[in-house]
Amino acid sequence: MLQFFIDTLMRTSDLALVALGLSMLYGLVKFPNIAHVQYAMVGAFLAYWLYGLGLPLALALVVGAGLTGLITLLVQLLVFDRLLQSGPSIAMIGSLAVSMLLVAIVLGVAGSFPHMFVLPNMEPVLIGDARLSRAQLWMVLTTAVLLVVFLVLLFYTQAGRAMRALASNRALADASGLNASRITNVVTLLSGALAGLGGGMLAISGGAHVNLGHDMLLPVFAAAILGGLGNPIGAVAGAFLIALAETTVTNINFGPMLGESLVFLPASYIGAAAFLILLLALLFKPYGLFDKEVRRV
């Protein structure tokens, strides 16, 4: 049971930062940016290349995340700000084009084979009867610390109050003297950096590869929708629920039902769990589990 809980936390850490950035940015620009998951893929490759150049792993992840944030801001300024003048539906279609373009660029530069981080061998960390690698423990703790920092920033600082005011009513925020463009640009930079860091940490165990963004697309959007698009804290809760569903699907023993001792679903069914959660959310809670907050925003 403890191993199940740890596996769920590790999967949550894979999704939470990317889903948080996606939902945080949606609260301001009001369109679902499909390309956001590809920023995670870009961050993974940047971290891999920087680590290969000799930077310490932690520094490679931080610098890669920062560069990813700058790329995200550049794309927002050059592409999405113009597309949004034609409406959010046009911007969403454009984000699909940007997503495909990013994949094509990285595919041309890095190829289609996964690039694995060469890390020193370390003994796994034992917690009761459960085990996880030191890198996985570091990833979970890093995600937890960043989420706490984000909560403090959002609810206990002037910048956080400005972000929430802008997400609630952009026209009123402008009339109140808030610099909407500057706040949006800062949030765009932060959301891209979070996605890049999430992708880099995920690549530590799974490698940097061009399908990393595609693999995250459904669970990340399912988490953001489940928590309520535009509600960053809800997105984190949604990431936990998606991780819980995915871990449950691959840990249920169907053997007794089929007259066998052990029968488990293959890992490829993880996507089906996210599909099911997303479908149920859209059918019964289309505004997400925290619909009051989303309606307010």
Tokens matching residue 95: 């984000």
pLDDT of residue 297: 41
Tokens matching residue 265: 């679903």
Q: What is the pLDDT of residues 241-285, one digit of tens each?
A: 888 888 887 777 666 666 666 666 666 666 677 777 777 777 777
Share of the chain above pLDDT 90, in %: 36
- pLDDT category, 180, cuts 50, 70, 90? confident
- pLDDT category, 41, cuts 50, 70, 90? very high
Q: What is the pLDDT of residues 276-290, one digit of tens each?
A: 777 777 777 766 666
* Residues whose CB is less than 8 angstroms from the CB of residue 196 and which lie 6 or more positions away in sequence, other chains included: 39, 40, 42, 43, 44, 46, 47, 64, 65, 66, 67, 68, 69, 72
Which residues does residue 125 pair with via DSSP β-bridges, in sequence order? 132
pLDDT of residue 296: 43
Q: How confident is the model over 110-121, as a mean pLDDT?
A: 86
Q: Just give the CATH number of 2-296.
A: 1.10.3470
CB 253 within 8 A of CB 264: yes
